[in-house]
Structure 1
Amino acid sequence: MGGEIPYLPDVMNRFPTPGLKSRSGVPKILDTSAIIDGRVVDIAATGFLEGDLVIPEFVLKELRHIADSSVDLTRAKGRRGLDYIQTLQELPSMHVVITGKDYKDIDEVDLKLLRLAQDMKGAVITSDYNLNKVAILQKIPVLNVNDLSNAVKPNAIPGEVFEVEILRKGKEADQGVGFLDDGTMIVVDKAKGRIGENLGVEVTSVLQTPAGRMIFAKIKE
């Protein structure tokens, strides 16, 4: 499971005044989805994150519960999340702190997380769509890993040409679907019968959706 996670001093003791900044930047509180997702490790390694990374014990408890699941895939996700925490702790540029602060009057982990963020005047790091929305409604700063991932993907413009492998058929007649190296989906017109082929395609339009960017293209003549 990646070894036992060392317990660090309660972060609330290090913030005697609500909102007091540690090092530089406000504290960033990690939720379960962001930890399991794992991309936060790569982001932290680049040095783009400032301030402490805070992991509440109630999030650790949820991760341990997931890691003990009888379902293989769920158990693997939980154990991977615990390994990611250890990796974060080993990054020389980051300071990971674990807080025992809890809210016994709140049952739901996400709501506990938001209360903690309010008390610390910190920001929440998540990849959970619903938690992101609730945080925005409560005017709590939120850093969505999916939004960051989409933001750093190269822009595509109509007329640009790519080479892409057609992997499966699309939803509409005659469409084929492929993916760029960064995971962006390309829907190619009249490519349904070209599955398994690498095709030169020309971008016709780009659609930004809540799930990410989608590129529409035609086969390059």
Structure 2
Amino acid sequence: MKKLTVRLVFIVVGGTLGLTYLPYLWTMLLSQPNVLLNNVFTNFLLGALILWILSLFLANAAVRLVDRVEKNLSKQNPMTLLFGSIGFIIGLLIAVLISQLFSRSPLFLLNTVVPIILMLFFGYIGARVGTTRIDEWRKVFNFRRREKEASPEITDAQPDQNYHHYKILDTNILIDGRIYDIVKTGFLEGTLLVPNFVLYELQYIADSADSIKRVRGRRGLDILNKLQNENIIPVEMYEGDFEDIPEVDSKLIQLAKKVNGVIVTNDYNLNKVIEFQNVQVLNINQLAKSLKPRVIPGEEMNVMVVKNGSESQQGVGYLDDGTMVVVEDGKFYINEKVDVVVTSALQTDAGRMIFARLAHSNRGIPDHADSNSNKHNNNNSNNNRNSNHSNGNNNNRNNRR
């Protein structure tokens, strides 16, 4: 089907060229006009016949060229195709305007060849400008749209330099999975940008021989698919790469600088490197820490004591969000839920610790502790009786002597 289409295109182009240029050829070759040769029907058929013969030899090459072009176009971002087409059309319009200067020239070179060269040149330049400056064009259109929709007070104000349209996701944030829940709440705006090199790293982890890594990689791919399929927020793939940079983290930083984006991560070390590079970052762990409920001294809560603390008679429990609670005299209530009263709280970079005491401090030690104490006292009493009995026997022996 493609080969037939290509041959039809050759025939139409050949007929058009025959109608356009064969009359000039007959004028130069024939001393007298020949109505049989120099007419519309003959010129069209002759031009179409010549190009049809050429198509017998060039059709396969043309089909391969079309397939290659289709393959390359399918890999391109839709925005790249859109801005490239717009740039190409603008380039052609410029070429047509310039060609008008040569249209009345009697020379074939000036009125025909030069316009073709100008169209090819300016069309190529327009397409290149449209595809290589996508980010700048997008910023211009977004700015104009925001300017049009804004109120007069906002229009007169300076643009917000802290807004970043692209939220660039790293590998860890996709594996973590909490980004999906945050997106569902609507707290993130703009567009999520997932680079191809992050996707390749996820695929590599998902194909790992280590079962734990394999599960984490597949989880990241599932989260990405859910974000794309549910279309809660626009998700775009970045096709480019920074081949001179081997590390994925460094590529993320360069991409953020290129598109003026913000990196979304939960990696503490990457967070520090990004801040050092003067790139904006959103850390999910910092968000989670900020959203943890505040506790004040005197507040009561119920907690399960799960293990001994580092100090004598302390017990340790955890809240549902993972916050550690250190309970005074809690070692006697391991594997029990107890009511406690907060005495103080300590916030660190690693997390938060809550110190508490039992809600009923006058409550005695549990029965198992009392029984142990009673056993200890009984043993002491028995030892004393045995000691007294042996002392009495010794005194009796001394008296007999």
- With normalisation by structure 2, the TM-score equals 0.50
Indicate which of 259, 262, 273 corresponds to 1:120. Answer: 259
Is 1:9 aligned to 2:77, yes or no?
yes
**In structure 1, the residue corresponding to 2:135 is in which secondary structure?**
coil
Indicate which of 27, 51, 57 corresponds to 2:196. Answer: 57
Alignment of 1:42-191 (within 5 A): 42-191=181-330
Q: Give, in whole Å, the separation in 2 of the partners of 1:193 and 1:17.
A: 66
Q: How many pairs were matched up? A: 215
Which sits farther off after the overlay, 164-173 or 136-145?
164-173
Q: Give, in whole Å, the separation in 2 of the partners of 1:195 and 1:8.
A: 61
> What runs of 5+ residues in structure 1 fail to find an aligned partner?
1-6
Task: Letter of the 2:77 partner, please give it.
Answer: P
Which sits farther off after the overlay, 208-217 or 76-85?
208-217
Q: Give, in whole Å, the separation in 1 of the partners of 2:227 and 2:172.
A: 15
Shift of 1:73: 1.1
Shift of 1:76: 0.5
Q: Could you tell me which residue of structure 1 aligns to residue 344 of structure 2?
A: 205
**Structure 1 residues 173 and 63, CA gap change in structure 2 (3 angstroms):** farther
Q: Give, in whole Å, the separation in 1 of the partners of 2:234 and 2:332.
A: 52
Shift of 1:153: 1.3
> Is the Cα–Cα contact under 8 Å of residues 257 and 279 in structure 2 kept in the other structure?
yes
**Structure 1 residues 18 and 112, CA gap change in structure 2 (3 angstroms):** farther
- With normalisation by structure 1, the TM-score equals 0.89
Q: Give, in whole Å, the separation in 2 of the partners of 1:205 and 1:8.
A: 58
Aligned-residue CA RMSD (Å): 2.4
**In structure 2, the residue corresponding to 1:33 is in which secondary structure?**
helix
Q: Could you tell me which residue of structure 2 aligns to residue 215 of structure 1?
A: 354
**Structure 1 residues 11 and 220, CA gap change in structure 2 (3 angstroms):** farther
**In structure 2, the residue corresponding to 1:17 is in which secondary structure?**
helix
> Is the Cα–Cα contact under 8 Å of residues 176 and 188 in structure 1 kept in the other structure?
yes
**Structure 1 residues 99 and 220, CA gap change in structure 2 (3 angstroms):** same
1:169-208 alpha-carbon deviations (Å, 9 max, x no partner): 2333332222222222212222123221001111111121
Is 1:30 aligned to 2:98, yes or no?
no
User: Which has the larger Rg?
Assistant: 2
> Comparing both structures, which one devotes a greater share of its residues to strand?
1
1:29-53 alpha-carbon deviations (Å, 9 max, x no partner): 0011111111110000000000101
Task: Letter of the 1:174 partner, please give it.
Answer: Q
Q: Give, in whole Å, the separation in 2 of the partners of 1:73 and 1:10.
A: 37
Higher RCO (C-alpha under 8 Å, 6+ residues apart) = 1
> Is the Cα–Cα contact under 8 Å of residues 206 and 216 in structure 1 kept in the other structure?
yes
**Structure 1 residues 45 and 15, CA gap change in structure 2 (3 angstroms):** farther
**Structure 1 residues 15 and 132, CA gap change in structure 2 (3 angstroms):** farther
> Is the Cα–Cα contact under 8 Å of residues 160 and 203 in structure 1 kept in the other structure?
yes
1:84-127 alpha-carbon deviations (Å, 9 max, x no partner): 00111123321111112211111111010011011111100000
Q: Give, in whole Å, the separation in 2 of the partners of 1:111 and 1:150.
A: 26
Q: Give, in whole Å, the separation in 2 of the partners of 1:202 and 1:70.
A: 48
